[in-house]
Amino acid sequence: MSQQPPVPPRPEQPPPFPPRQLDRIPVPPPESLEPAGRPVRASRPDAESTVPGWWGDVRRMLIYAACSAILWTAVLWLAGFGILRHNGRQVELDVVLVGVLAGAPGLAWPFLQFAPRRPDHGFRLRGLPVLMLLTIPAGALIHLAAMLLWPLIAGGRAVPGTVAAELHRDPAALALVFVFLVAGMSWFSVIVQVMIRWPVKGALICLLPFLGAVFLFMFSGVRIFENPPAGQALLVWSVAAVAGLAAVCAVSALFSRRKA
């Protein structure tokens, strides 16, 4: 019998599909396993803890100035109608109340600007001197516009010829009250900014000046509104206003450089 030639071995054919390599299959992270069609919302930063733009701070301060002006005018209006009471006693609308309310905008101004949740505490680190130079006179004008109603609210309670009675029609009285407001807002901003920027030492150093400024501006407000507008008073408060604006710009620039 004839022997058949040996059949050569067939070469091994590669499998049609490579074996799955399970260790190389990418596993999506858990946070990406969201239902289809459901957008992922990005968390918004807290508006009270973020620093707005420069114009945003300007708008914020002018809105606060308008709210402050409305508040003090409303207090005077309530006193005029006999609604305002303190410790169960009616608060009379007199020149003392008018003068104290005239000094209140300067005291309240830096505290309205204070924002404890912001990293700069409401006093921005860039552009603060120019911001103060713009918003303080503008805020004073807003308060002055609201004060034009004060003689009308006081009516016959205001002595004729005094600032309390002639504010809405006497340019000298308007100028005097305007520079008084600018001086108060500027100097209180200087004191409060030092107390906030330099927490412990600044508070100890500025405590007595702060209390003295409260007494000075409240007492001076009474003196201004119970007397006729005088040229000497206008000159004194104009110098105080210009010096206050220069001081607040210098302090703002100083702390901006230290934080930079």
Ordered per-residue pLDDT tens for the chain, 260 residues = 555 566 565 655 555 555 555 455 555 555 544 455 555 455 555 545 577 788 988 999 999 999 999 999 999 999 988 888 878 788 888 899 999 999 999 999 999 988 888 887 778 888 889 999 999 999 999 999 999 999 999 888 888 999 999 999 999 999 999 999 999 999 999 999 998 888 788 888 889 999 999 999 999 999 999 999 999 999 999 999 999 999 999 998 887 765 55
Task: Supply 17's token pair.
Answer: 């599909």
Which residue matches tokens 């000298």? 172
Dihedral of alpha carbons 116, 60, 84, 222, sign: positive
Instruction: Return the domain boundaries, the chain.
Output: 54-259
Closest CA to 119 of 188, 51, 200: 51
pTM of the model: 0.78
pLDDT single digits (tens) 236-259: 999 999 999 999 999 988 877 655
The one-letter code for the residue type at 234 is L
DSSP lists the bridge partners of residue 89 as 86
**80/60 Cα distance (integer angstroms):** 30
